[in-house]
Chains A and B, each alone.
Chain A
Amino acid sequence: MNDNEMKTVKKEFMWVDGRRVELNGERNVLEVVRQAGVDLPTFCYHSELSVYGACRMCVVEDERGQILASCQTPPKDGLKVKTSTPKLQKHRKMILELLLSSHCRDCTTCPKNGKCLLQELAIRFSITGIRFNGESFKRHDLPIDNSSFSIVRNPNKCILCGDCVRMCAEVQNVGAIDFKGRGSGMMVSTAFGDPIIATDCVHCGQCAAVCPTGAITVKCDCPAVWKDLYDGDKQVIAQVAPAVRVAFGEEFGLVSGENVMGKIVAGLRMLGFDRVYDTSLGADLTVMEESAEFLERLRSKENLPLFTSCCPAWICFMEKRYPELKDLVSSCKSPMQMLGAVIKEHAKRHDVGDSKTIINVAIMPCTAKKFEAVREEFYRDGIADIDHVITTQELVKMFREAGIVFADLEPEAPDMPFGIHSGAGVIFGVTGGVSEAVIRRVAEDKSMEAILDIAYTGIRGLEGAKEAEVTVGDEKLKIAVVNGLKNIDEIIKKILAGEVHYDFIEAMACPGGCVGGGGQPFGLKPVKKSRSDGLYRADKLSQIRQSEENPLLAGLYKGVLRGRAKELLHVHY
């Protein structure tokens, strides 16, 4: 564009409540209004999903007094809208009253109590009474679907905003749930009303993450953890996944991305955990094993591309959709399972638990990990390697219940011998992290400059699908970093059609990787960005950047893993 053209570009404006707002490519009036600093209420608009236009809460009024749903109205130069008028107030209140009238209103005992958007808006709009009560308005009590290890579906709490349906179909390409029925008999259902466990559900929990009410919630495993913590015959060991530390603080008013691992460790000890370890060490083990596997496959030219195996939702998706790809997936267990197996084996060997039963509790950003932990592949001699998985949000609840004042906690270090990790291990929590860690391992040039350069090959960033090229020896390796199952699905289709070739594919089910996991506090892209920045900062601050330099690994390979690495660290699905 030359200078002349620059001058002729006309800026476009809209007026929101009398204030001029410049248009910058917003997709709809709702985005413009939010740009203008007005928090328009909505249940069904998600910038990362398609526009559904069902809740009608985001209505605005134009100059002619017409009511427009701002989410479906394209911005136009000169358009004047008001966001708060007597009409709009009346309609919004009526919509809320109607929604509440058919909603199961046992809020005080609802798992979403205090975090429910319907509750929040009812407070915001001062809904103090409901006029549609009694026999004529009654809805049937619908059964709760408790079949999944990861999520609980309570249709009585559903407001039919469709966020879960679109998340499952549009972002994850799974489509385990959809609408059925008409009129007030409409509901979100699985095909044929089967229990969710019997469907294509991959346990990613993204439906629960976007659900504004208590209709889909993450299954709560806190009671079982409390029980074991209070059991004197058990030694309860915690491991904390990388992505947890950069999101946990958000729930206590800290900025997203702040690494609060030290505080989490301190809090876990207050809760009564006997040992606190870092899953990043498990990640270091994964890097070692997966790199070796990768180099071996490159050498033999067999089973390429290698798909990573850390993400249990992706594994589940692969098993259900592309079972023929099983051999391409790395045989490595996930870091959580590796560490879980090693902890139990180490305890057995050294009897560190004074003969107490070892209970492994994993604190994860992920709901699918709950499912992974109960898979039969991860039981040895009838004993699970991981006994309980709780999500970031569940741990927040436990901290609150215990009355821990998070802000006042003094950071503490994790316990040995599983308390030291490399920077490569900690970036597992963000999309691209596994690839970067593996590249660091397989790269021949181990100078700091070379390690830093990897960050600029294109594997960092939250885009759904990225590509990078790395030279190892005289071979140029093609790497794909993909997050979101839809993106993964598309790349697999291309691979199967022979349109593309890759040597290594990092697959993470949740958009953004584990920082955007279904068990994390809900956050949009900017939040995920802050969290991933937090993990890259943690990497930068590590004295050890490469997994193979983690001093604990040598001990492990000489100790518990000697001759048993395959048994303890690998799995065949």
Chain B
Amino acid sequence: MNEIEPVDKTRMNESYTLGPLQAGPPCCDPEPLIRVDNLTLHYRKKPALENVSLDIYKGCITALIGPSGCGKTSFLSVLNRMTDMIPDCRVSGKVHFNGKDLRDPALNVQGLRRDIGMIFQKPVPFPLSIRRNIELPLREHGISKQAELNDITQLVLQDVGLWDEVKGRLESSALALSGGQQQRLCIARALALKPKVLLMDEPCSALDPISSGVVEDLIQRLRGKYTVVIVTHNLAQARRIANYAGFFWIKDQRAGCLIEFGQCKQIFEAPVHELTAAYVSGSRG
């Protein structure tokens, strides 16, 4: 598969905490990191998602596309157990992450969420300074040496291309940043925890086109080092950045389900299912 861009040499010169973000050609040898088998999700009695089975491959960007209300966000929420916070939400089926049962009630959910980060549609910087936004989760996870915190802060801000914009005002409010900067700060905050997976719920849709482009470039650069699952309504974006794509649809006016899953190129250029073909060509949905 040739979805992967060549490693950008100029970017290799920048310093990265976490190693070069494009760490070699991923996805050539798909290795499932998350395996979802027959997942069904109910809100109260109402099914929101039925019988979804798919694999999320390590180091790849997987895009979830489909119309609103077909359960894409619910699917993401299962993967980092945010569904625990929704009363009357019932999940059944098997979800394995790194070989471990992700739905195990005894699982350390805080640890899981450290491994599987999440970025929301609307950026959620906390009403704290820029520095404190990044330090807070780090301190929570046991990193308390100021020198180490400073290093990580600088490196992750460099990773998301925010360092030069904010290095002079780390102590000022994160809420004063622009929408695009806030979203990049949130990504930096998530990266600081060295997650294995990043779940992104329409991370660009609340941003202006230029900021959206910047964030999209950033997501591209996460490929290889991180496994990214991104929900997007922007088909062109999905096509540009994803290695794999899953198409969700509301079946029988009832619950969302996965219609088709495969390599991005195949989904967009040679869809098997007629609904997929209609959706990606823009004639439905």
The judgment on whether A and B are partners is no
| Interface, chain A (partner B; CB < 8 A) | none
